[in-house]
Amino acid sequence: MSVKERKERERASRERLIVATARELAEQQGWDAVTTRQLAERIEYSQPVLYSHFRGKREIIGAVALEGAAELAAAVRAATAAAAGPRERVYALARAYLDFATRNPAVYDAIFQLDGGLPYAQEDTPEPLKDAFAALLECLDEVAGDGVAPGLFTEVFWASLHGVATLTRSGRLPPEDTEPRVELLVDRLAMV
């Protein structure tokens, strides 16, 4: 292995450590606790080393969002692949999405709530974000209905799931009614 390859591998390893530490700290204490000083102390590197990887917290949030989007896409695909029939797939999608949001609140916020400097719904949207949307579309395409654009239907269904996730987490919707909400979404919006 050349010196250049070794340095690139070490750099990639440090970057993964920074992102993993930021995620861990955000999940434990919230995104306000994620500072370059705090990260530098936790990973035992200097702040200039962090800045050699990320220009600041915004880029770290963006890196967490990209990683989280890939995980969300995988979770949705795994859940829908195991389901038989359109209704079961849509229900599995909804549950996987809401479970991801519940289990990973800081990552969910990085993807959908915080400014990570990432473009959404544009030509230059990063591939992990496009793929997370594609994972939803793959399942919802078959239930969009006649004359309804599958992408538009997916956006509306996704927005509904996002509303359930964020309003439940903020205490504005009682969590014990999540299942009836999912049933309503699947039965009325997806009409399967």
Residue 191's pLDDT is 79
Contact 112/72 with Cβ under 8 angstroms? no
Identity (one letter) of the amino acid at 173? L
- The letter for the amino acid at 55 is R
Exposure on the CB side of residue 156, measured as CA atoms within 13 A:
14
Which pLDDT value is given to residue 192? 65
At 106 the pLDDT is 98
User: What pLDDT shows up at residue 58?
Assistant: 97
**Are 69 and 116 a contacting pair, CB within 8 Å?**
no
Token pair 């969590």 in the structure block, residue:
175
Is the pTM for the entire model greater than 0.75? yes
What are the residue ranges in the chain where pLDDT is below 50? none
Contacts of 155 (CB under 8 A, 6+ apart): none
Beta-carbon-side half-sphere exposure of residue 27 (alpha carbons within 13 Å): 15
